[in-house]
């Protein structure tokens, strides 16, 4: 779905996340060499790249877990390098982050995992309101019955869904998914993919999705960006890229 | 040549580690005094630590008291000084053996579990997840744990000392018909403030050391499950060493003060 020229101005003001010329190196290892990207409001943008190409590094730069060497990151109109710690924490509440390995707090129950962001960020909620939000989030991932279990008692796919519920609970405007389907069987992957689509529809979120999984990219993407040698090598819809003649691009869609 | 370089490397990395740990401790003090304070988590940690080591400390303390009394008795009897038992035992347990043994036990129990817990939180990105959800993980995890050990170790030591004295009293009661009342009257006569104060101050430092090293090792743990094992293991080794160093310094300092 290409935006028509008359729409260009409109869509520019619609950008929720913008990365401009990002550089990041670890010693001699130059991971990002001037990467740029923008995420439009309400879109599902997929970022593909080989293992070790720096996808996780890129999104860690976005949320301030890593500091880029050079370049600009703008989220919801805020240049993150100029934000104070407390403003950054405030901004982080409008970003949901799904970690590659779920990263559920394993000393806490599912309920406590979901309450964690709530306790820290919202005005003091009554326990009833908190309960309602927890169940709403669990409902949307279909795991209401696990509320009092520990993460260790859940399967990998269930953990991923709980992690998604935790990322959703503050109703973020942007969600970043780091390989949401990696390590899951095809059926569970499909469930997660459907969940991602329903989240986009229900909460009108904008999503940046990192994946190796071609099926996932086909189903969820409005647009795809390929990360190669630390730059945005190519960009387009799934059909455009998968029918490309460039061998480097083709390699991703085999 | 090669040998001397590797020895040199070991020395430098040892001092580098001490430097990093000092910086970690500085950060603790800086973040401990600035709001927000994580009281809920602090209480939870205090409760966990007390609960987890309570039984172990009781058993160790009891055995310590019993064994120490049984071993010392024959010598004192030989000199006809068996009546001195309560005061001698209480001074050596309260001043020295109780705090050191119980702190060592807690280093194994609490220090290693802090190292393992934070280590696995680090490698499974739970610490990153906390930061992304807008919580300062250093404050939430490290400050609360170090504060909790600093508060709880002294309490556990006092409790352990007390159980040790009960063990000792039991033996005296069986062997020599000393009543518990007489035993404890003698104990409290023997113990002076100059015994209790330095011994108690010392245990706060023990507690701080246990929390600091456990957190430092866990928080800086390397990737992979091997990293977690190493974090927990070296937390115990370094803490035990540090406890003896602190003990040495403490005894030295209190000696200066009281003589
Ligand atoms: N904290 C770090 N310190 C040093 N090097 C790092 C660090 N994090 C990542 N790297 C390096 O950056 C490169 C990119 O890593 P990254 O984790 O972003 O890969 P990725 O694209 O997410 O791969 P995968 O698909 O396997 O998750 C790798 O060479 C890695 O060794
Ligand atoms: Mg990655």
How would you write A168-236 as a 3-class SS string?
Answer: HCCCCCEEEEECCCCCCCHHHHHHHHHHHHHHHHHHCCEEEEECCCHHHHHHHCCEEEEEECCEEEEEE
In-domain check, residue B8: no
As for ligand 1, residues whose beta carbon falls within 6 Å of it are: A 26, 29, 31, 49, 51-57
Distance (Å) of CA A143 to CA A114, A155, A216: 12, 12, 22
Residue whose tokens read 């913008």:
A18
CA of residue A52 to ligand 2 center, whole Å: 7
Mean pLDDT, to the nearest integer, of A7-15? 56
Residues of chain B with Cβ-Cβ distance to A75 below 8 Å are: none
Closest CA in chain B for residue A97: B132
- The answer to whether residue A12 scores a pLDDT higher than 70 is no
Residues A97-111 have a mean pLDDT of: 91
In this predicted structure, the answer to whether residue A125 has a pLDDT above a threshold of 70 is yes
Please enumerate in sequence order all residues whose Cβ is within 8 A of that of A57, keeping only pairs 6 or more positions apart, or say none. Answer: A24, A31, A32, A66
Instruction: List, in sequence order, every residue forming a beta bridge with A236; answer none if it has no partner.
Output: A224
Cα–Cα distance measured from residue B180 to residue B173, given in angstroms and rounded to the nearest whole number: 7
pLDDT at B3: 57
B1 in any annotated domain? no
Average pLDDT over residues A135-140: 88
Whether residues B128 and A103 touch (CB distance < 8 A) is answered with: yes
> How many Cα atoms occupy the beta-carbon half-sphere of B70 within 13 Å?
11
In terms of Cα–Cα distance, which of A47, A80, A35 is closest to A178? A47
- Cross-chain residue pair A99–B135, CB shorter than 8 Å: no
- Residue at B165 is within a domain: yes
Q: Is residue B29 part of a domain?
A: no
> Alpha carbon of A70 to those of A21, A33, A35, A56, A67: distances in Å?
7, 9, 10, 17, 9
Distance A56 CA to ligand 1 centre (A): 6
Output the six-digit token pair for B81. 């000084």
Chain A CB within 8 Å of residue B195 CB: no
Residue B226 is assigned to a structural domain of this protein: yes
Taking the complete model, does pTM exceed 0.80, yes or no?
Answer: yes
A92: nearest CB among B121, B124, B132: B132
Cα A206 to Cα A17, A41, A159, B122: the distances in Å are 9, 5, 23, 28
**Spatial CA neighbour of A15 closest among A35, A38, A45:** A38
**Which pLDDT tens digits describe chain B residue by residue (259 residues)?**
455 678 888 888 888 888 999 999 999 999 889 888 888 899 999 999 999 999 999 999 999 999 998 888 888 888 887 778 888 888 888 888 999 999 999 999 999 999 999 999 998 899 999 998 888 899 999 999 999 999 999 999 999 999 999 998 898 888 888 888 888 888 888 888 777 888 899 999 999 999 999 999 999 888 777 788 888 888 899 999 999 999 999 888 888 877 6
Residue A25 vs residues A71, A125, A225, A233: alpha-carbon distances, Å: 12, 43, 21, 18
Q: Average pLDDT of A162-174?
A: 90
Pocket-testing residue among A27, A31, A61, ligand 1, by greatest number of atoms within 8 A of Cβ: A31
Is there a domain that residue B25 lies in? no
Checking if the pLDDT of A10 tops 50, the result is no
Nearest CA in chain A to B126: A103
| Closest partner CB to B134 (pick from A65, A93, A103) | A93
A105 three-class SS:
coil
Give the residue from A85, A65, A66, A80 showing the smallest Cα distance to A23: A66
Q: How much is the pLDDT for B199? A: 87
Give me A93's structure tokens: 């509440």
Rounded to 10 degrees, the C-alpha dihedral A32/A36/A39/A43 comes to -80
CA-CA distance, A62 to A35, in Å (whole number)? 12
State residue B55's pLDDT score: 95
Alpha-carbon distance A39 to B109, whole Å? 49
Higher pLDDT, A254 or B229: B229
Percent of chain A with pLDDT over 90: 26
Rounded to an integer, what distance in angstroms lies between the CA atom of residue A92 and that of residue A188?
Answer: 29
Partners of A26 in the β-ladder: A29
The residue whose CA is least distant from atom 19 of ligand 1 is A52
- List, in sequence order, every beta strand (DSSP E) within chain A: 15-26, 29-40, 44-49, 70-75, 78-79, 95-98, 174-178, 206-210, 223-228, 231-236
Chain A positions contacting chain B at CB under 8 Å are 60, 63-65, 89-90, 92-93, 95, 97, 99-101, 103-107, 116-117, 120-121
Q: How far apart, in Å, are the Cα atoms of B25 and each of A28, A81, B138, B236, B241?
A: 31, 27, 11, 18, 17
**Residue A231 alpha carbon to ligand 2 centre in Å:** 16
Tokens of B66: 């019993």
pLDDT at A6: 40
Residue nearest to atom 16 of ligand 1 (CA): A54
Residue B135 at interface with chain A, using a CB cutoff of 8 Å? yes
For residue B11, being part of any structural domain is answered with no
| Per-residue model confidence (pLDDT) at position B48 | 92
Q: Which of B48, B121, B133 to mutate to test the interface with A (most CBs of A within 10 A)?
A: B133
β-strands A223-228, A95-98 pairing: unpaired
The total domain count for chain B is: 1
* Whole-number pLDDT of residue B139: 92
Q: Are A106 and B133 inside 8 Å of each other by CB?
A: no
Beta A174-178 vs A95-98: how paired, if at all?
parallel
Q: How many CB pairs under 8 A join A and B?
A: 49
| pLDDT for the residue A122 | 62
- With CA atoms as reference, the chain B residue closest to A172 would be B133
Shortest Cα distance, chain A CAs vs residue B167, angstroms: 37
Q: Which region among A215-224, A243-252, B121-130 has the lowest average model confidence (pLDDT)?
A: A243-252
Q: Round to whole Å and give the CA distance between A96 and A163.
A: 10
The boundaries of the domain holding residue B192 are 38-258
At A50, the pLDDT band (50, 70, 90 cuts) reads: confident
Q: In this structure, is residue B10 part of a structural domain?
A: no
Residue of the CA atom closest to atom 5 of ligand 1: A26
Residue bearing the bigger pLDDT, A188 or B249: B249
Amino acid A187: pLDDT: 85
Q: Looking at the predicted structure, is the pLDDT value of residue A150 above 60?
A: yes
The rounded distance, in Å, linking the Cα atoms of A168 and A125 is: 17
Q: Please tell me chain B's helix, strand, coil percentages from 3-state DSSP, rounded to the nearest 5.
A: 90, 0, 10
How remote is the CA of residue A50 from the centroid of ligand 2, in Å?
9
């Amino acid at each position: 779905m290409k935006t028509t020229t008359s729409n260009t101005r409109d869509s520019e003001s619609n950008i929720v996340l913008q990365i401009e010329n990002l550089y990041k190196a670890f010693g001699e290892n130059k991971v990002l060499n001037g990467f740029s990207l923008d995420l439009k409001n309400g879109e599902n943008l997929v970022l593909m790249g080989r293992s070790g190409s720096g996808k996780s590094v890129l999104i860690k730069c976005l949320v301030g877990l890593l500091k880029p060497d050079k370049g600009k990151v703008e989220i919801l109109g805020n240049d993150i390098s100029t934000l104070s710690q407390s403003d950054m924490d405030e901004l982080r509440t409008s970003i949901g982050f799904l970690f590659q390995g779920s990263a559920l707090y394993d000393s806490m129950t599912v309920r406590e995992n979901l309450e964690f962001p709530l306790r820290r960020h919202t005005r003091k909620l009554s326990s009833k309101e908190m309960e309602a939000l927890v169940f709403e989030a669990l409902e949307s991932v279909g795991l209401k019955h696990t509320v009092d279990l520990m993460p260790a008692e859940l399967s990998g796919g269930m953990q991923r869904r709980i992690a998604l519920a935790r990322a959703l609970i503050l109703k973020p405007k942007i969600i970043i998914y780091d390989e949401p389907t990696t390590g899951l069987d095809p059926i569970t992957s499909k469930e997660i993919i459907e969940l991602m689509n329903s989240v986009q529809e229900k909460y009108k979120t904008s999503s940046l999705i990192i994946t190796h999984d071609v099926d996932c990219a086909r189903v969820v993407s409005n647009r795809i960006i390929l990360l190669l040698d630390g730059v945005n090598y190519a960009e387009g819809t799934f059909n455009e890229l998968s029918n490309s003649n460039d061998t480097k691009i083709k390699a991703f869609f085999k | 040549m090669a040998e001397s370089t590797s020895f040199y490397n070991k020395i430098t990395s040892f001092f580098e580690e001490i430097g990093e740990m000092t910086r970690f401790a500085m950060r603790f003090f800086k973040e401990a005094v600035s709001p927000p304070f994580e009281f809920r988590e602090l209480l939870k940690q205090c409760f966990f630590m007390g609960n987890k080591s309570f039984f172990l400390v009781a058993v160790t303390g009891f055995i310590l008291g019993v064994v120490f009394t049984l071993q010392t008795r024959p010598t004192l009897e030989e000199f006809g000084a068996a009546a001195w038992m309560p005061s001698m035992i209480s001074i050596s347990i309260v001043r020295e053996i109780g705090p050191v043994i119980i702190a060592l036990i807690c280093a194994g129990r609490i220090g290693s579990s802090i190292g393992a817990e934070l280590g696995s939180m680090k490698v499974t990105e739970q610490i990153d997840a906390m930061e992304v959800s807008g919580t300062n993980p250093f404050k939430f995890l490290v400050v609360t744990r170090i504060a909790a050990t600093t508060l709880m170790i002294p309490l556990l030591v006092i409790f352990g000392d007390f159980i040790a004295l009960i063990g000792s009293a039991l033996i005296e009661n069986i062997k020599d018909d000393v009543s518990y009342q007489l035993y404890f009257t003698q104990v409290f006569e023997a113990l002076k403030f100059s015994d209790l104060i330095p011994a108690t101050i010392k245990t706060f430092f023990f507690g701080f050391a246990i929390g600091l090293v456990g957190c430092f090792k866990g928080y800086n743990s390397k990737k992979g499950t091997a990293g977690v094992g190493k974090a927990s293991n070296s937390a115990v080794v370094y803490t035990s060493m540090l406890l003896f160093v602190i003990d040495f310094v403490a005894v030295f300092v209190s000696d200066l003060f009281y003589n």
